[in-house]
Amino acid sequence: MSQNPAEPKMPPRYQLTPKKKPYPFWLGGVACYDSGLPPATKRMLASIRKTVATAGVRGLFDGITGTWMRQMSYSMCRFWAYEESKKIVIGPDPTEQKNAPAWKLALSGSMAGGIAGFVGNPGGASLVMVREEGASSLARGVGPNVFRAILMNASQLASYDFFKAELLKTAYFEDNIIVHFTASFAAGTVATTVCSPADVLKSRIMNASGPGSSSTIGAIRTAIAQEGPMFMFKGWVPAWMRLQPTTILIFLTLEQLKNGWIGRGGRGGMFCEAL
């Protein structure tokens, strides 16, 4: 009795693969908890010794409530707003977001900075200010804070995504802690370079607004005439030393939290992905 030869199996056209759910919006705020630590400089160590001598070890934690409030408002909001802004500017497809041009990432970061700067502004007001000056003190400095938040997020968050995507396109990097460190190192340098002129100009404007001072525009013109345009980058190295470890800690922590969230079951349903 003859048997028909077995028909060749057709390769599967579709395969079920798990679809990752977006990481929760509060991971950004958690990642920034450890980023408020300044670099260990001689001045900082001397300040720690003086604080311990006068107020004890508990004095090192003065103001930690305000810091937590700031991180859980501004930092949490900016990471959430950045992800939502990318969906609007670039699209909801993660692949499109990874391959997005730098200007779209910067625009998404600017939108996130504007939102987070406004939401997180009350976190900079102390309880003493609120008691003495009322609730209106919560809005003090909202304009400069929003402007700086726009610069910071457009340069820090956007450049991290850009550098990470470009590094992963090469044959030298994989999606691990090495590429996270390298991309965050570059992002910290970009953020310092973008924000340093704004910080210098803000300082000059504040000094020019005192009694007996010249006008704001006049003070800036005088600085340019006497010191040249590069005066806006004075203090770049100390600013870089402060912001660089902060940026690295934020993104290394955030990436590990995202990996831990996914590894512990932060996955959605199944979907058919064409091979």
Tens digit of pLDDT for each residue in 43-53? 656 777 777 77
Burial class of residue 216, CB neighbours in 10 A (0-12, 13-18, 19+): middle
Which residues lie across from 271 on neighbouring strands?
A: 17
The Cα 136–Cα 123 span in angstroms is 13
* Residue 37 amino acid letter: L
Q: Please choose, from the candidates 74, 72, 64, 63, the residue with its C-alpha nearest in 3D space to the C-alpha of residue 128.
A: 63
pLDDT of residue 74: 81
pLDDT of residue 216: 60
pLDDT of residue 212: 47
The Cα 151–Cα 114 span in angstroms is 9
pLDDT of residue 27: 59
Burial class of residue 42, CB neighbours in 10 A (0-12, 13-18, 19+): exposed
All residue ranges of the chain with pLDDT < 70 are 1-45, 59-71, 123-141, 205-216, 261-275
pLDDT of residue 183: 96
Sign of CA dihedral 183, 186, 190, 191: positive
pLDDT of residue 157: 93
pLDDT of residue 254: 87
Q: How many CB atoms lie within 10 A of CB 259?
A: 16
Q: How many CB atoms lie within 10 A of CB 272?
A: 10
